[in-house]
Structure 1
């Protein structure tokens, strides 16, 4: 098990952790009834923090930020001499957490995505883990929640007696959601990206050879070009440029800034 704390990647603290270490952190917090905010960040996720001081503040207050993408794992080695055997990919981490939750009797709650995706996800999880208790689930409203809706949502999750919440709202909305609600609910919450769609079979995953070589972005761009072309064509080159700047010590002042968010966005 690897768990050696956080290191800065473009000013965002990323944990030097493997799957075993991340699962252990989450499960311990679930048993203890403690808040534990988790995000799995690929290049896009890191860049949302690197370019936005308020979002950087949120990310740097997460308890665990895993290197979801291979380029983020490579950055830990390049910048800090911290080699890891593999990335800690949000969908696979979610799978391992569900397996552990089933084994140790920890009910889970699923929040986000669309009703049809959630139905497929629930069916897949129940068939894979017969002992897994799904305490509840609800889809995203795909808009900002009102204050009363936010309170009702928290009451539903708390009333379900769930010990772990998996959140699939897309980056960066899911990280905002976890930041806003994990402490209030006092349980682990995981921002898991496209895990819901992958499990439900509504979105194809890249072949493993592409994932291992850091080319998952190319596969996703080919599958969803209209939605993702700006993200990858702009952010990927900028990520590499900024990494070089951090490696040479040229971006210290810029990368050290963060700013506490001024308002509750109430994503849902």
Structure 2
């Protein structure tokens, strides 16, 4: 029945983790994650991950977690926090997790969308602007033949009233999604997912700028830059005003705390 969809059937113990600055980062790679999702999202007893969430974690979110106890709890309370930032997996491998590799939001989206038609996955997109969602929808339909977009919604920028929030939950759940992609940016999207844990019928994944990448608003770094952990530099060149202060603060702090002091 209804209740079943929201019960935690999954044993979180099967997800290996590496604690970095207090955040239990999943010590995994994209192949592992895709297998895991395939086994649990459309299983014989329905979507076992329904109502739960995945944080797509990087240096920025990990340093914020180190400085903010509540946000750290949000990162750790979901199904898992995957290593989107290259430095996270580098630290993880140094600490003995040899199969831990960078698992980014955009790559995860791409891999899941590619197998969507054959797996029968339904996707809901929550966040961003009407304009970006329109472009995203067009790109998805063109690039991933047969993909099922259950719904898209651009929420108002302000705080929602309780009534509006109930309405949104109802609206999302009526579309019966398997995946609910949340593009509100960090730390807002993680807090939103934590507040909706157990209420949303689908697995929530917070993908930050993922919507913008697919819509073509921003480009991903060349593969060679991604491989040597320089995607942050590429993004900095694209959005210097917005990202300079963030990177100066969080990158230096991460190097000092995680890489030098081993926290």
- How many aligned positions are there? 245
Paired with 1:180 and 1:26, the residues of 2 have a C-alpha distance of 22
SS of the residue 1:156 aligns to: helix
1:12 to 19, 23, 29: 23
Contact map agreement 2:28 2:101 (CA 8 A) in 1 = no
The offset of 1:4, in angstroms, is 5.2
Instruction: Confirm or deny that 1:21 pairs with 2:32.
Output: yes
**Structure 2 unaligned blocks of 5 or more:** 1-13
Quote the residue 1:41 is aligned against.
57
* Residue matched to 2:199: 184
Instruction: Give the drift of 1:65.
Output: 1.3
Which residue among 142, 152, 156 is the counterpart of 2:171? 156
Gaps of 5+ in 1: 252-268
The aligned residue for residue 205 of structure 1 is 220
> SS at 1:91's partner residue?
helix
CA contact (8 A) 1:15 1:64 kept: yes
Aligned partner of residue 87 in structure 1, secondary structure = coil
CA distance in 1, matches of 2:80, 2:237: 31
Query: 2:71 matched to which residue of 1?
Result: 55
Deviation, 1:19, is 1.1
TM-score w.r.t. the length of structure 1 is 0.86
1:239 aligns with 2:250: no
What is the aligned-residue RMSD (CA, Å)?
A: 1.7
- For 1:142, what is the secondary structure of its paired residue? coil
TM-score w.r.t. the length of structure 2 is 0.88
Aligned to 2:9: none
Alignment correspondent of 1:167: 182
For the residue of structure 1 that corresponds to 2:77, the secondary structure is coil
* Structure 1 residues 58-109: Cα deviation after superposition (integer angstroms, max 9, x where no partner): 100111211111101101022x211236310110101112223322112110
Q: Which has the higher contact order (CA 8 A, sep 6+)?
A: 1
Distance 1:177 1:228 in 2: 22
Alpha-carbon contact 1:62-1:179 (below 8 Å) kept: yes
Task: Output the CA distance in 1 between the equivalents of 2:113 and 2:158.
Answer: 28
Partner in structure 1 of residue 233 of structure 2: 218
Shift of 1:206: 1.5
Contact 1:29–1:36 (CA<8 Å) still a contact in 2? no
Give the whole-Å Cα distance in 1 for the aligned partners of 2:33 and 2:64.
22
1:245 CA displacement: 5.7
Are the counterparts in 1 of residues 89 and 100 from structure 2 also a CA contact under 8 Å?
no
Is 2:137 the counterpart of 1:122?
yes
